Amino acid sequence: CVINCFSFKFFSLQCYDCNSIQTPSCADPINKNSISRSICAPNTKCGKGIVTANIYGTNQTVTLRGCVFNVATCELLEGVVAQIVQANVTVNHCSFCNNDLCNQAPSITGGIFA
C-alpha cells in the first residue's frame, strides 16, 4: 500500500469541484478559498462548463467545475445537464485541462469542441 498510496498522492490530478447554484463563488471570477477541491480518479481530467438552462421557469446560468472522465466531451456535458434539469441547455463555455487546479481559469484549453 505504501507504494500505491505514494504514487496516487503524487500522480493524481486535483480539480476544483463545485457548481454556482450551491456555491455562488464557483462562478467567474472564482473565489478559490471557498471552493471544494477533489482528488480525481485515474483516467480523468479537470473540466469547466458554463451552461444556461430554464430551471424552475427562469433562465439560469450555472458554472460547473470538477473531475470528468478523459472521454468527456462538451456535447456529452450538454446532454447530461439537459437530462438532469429536464430542459433545453445552451453551453456557453466548455473546457478541459490536465494540471492540478487548472479549472479555475476563466478560459482553459480544450474549447467548445474538445
pLDDT tens-digit profile, the chain (114 residues): 444 444 444 568 999 999 998 999 999 999 999 999 999 999 999 999 999 988 778 899 999 999 999 999 999 988 888 887 778 889 999 999 999 999 998 754 444 433
Which CATH number is 13-104 given? 2.10.60.10
Task: Enter the pTM of the model.
Answer: 0.80
Q: What are phi and psi of 98, to 5 degrees?
A: -125, 20
Q: What are phi and psi of 91, to 5 degrees?
A: -90, 115
* CB burial readout 86-106, b (16+ within 10 A) else e: ebebebebbbbbeeebbbbee
Kindly list the domain boundaries of the chain, sorted by start residue: 13-104
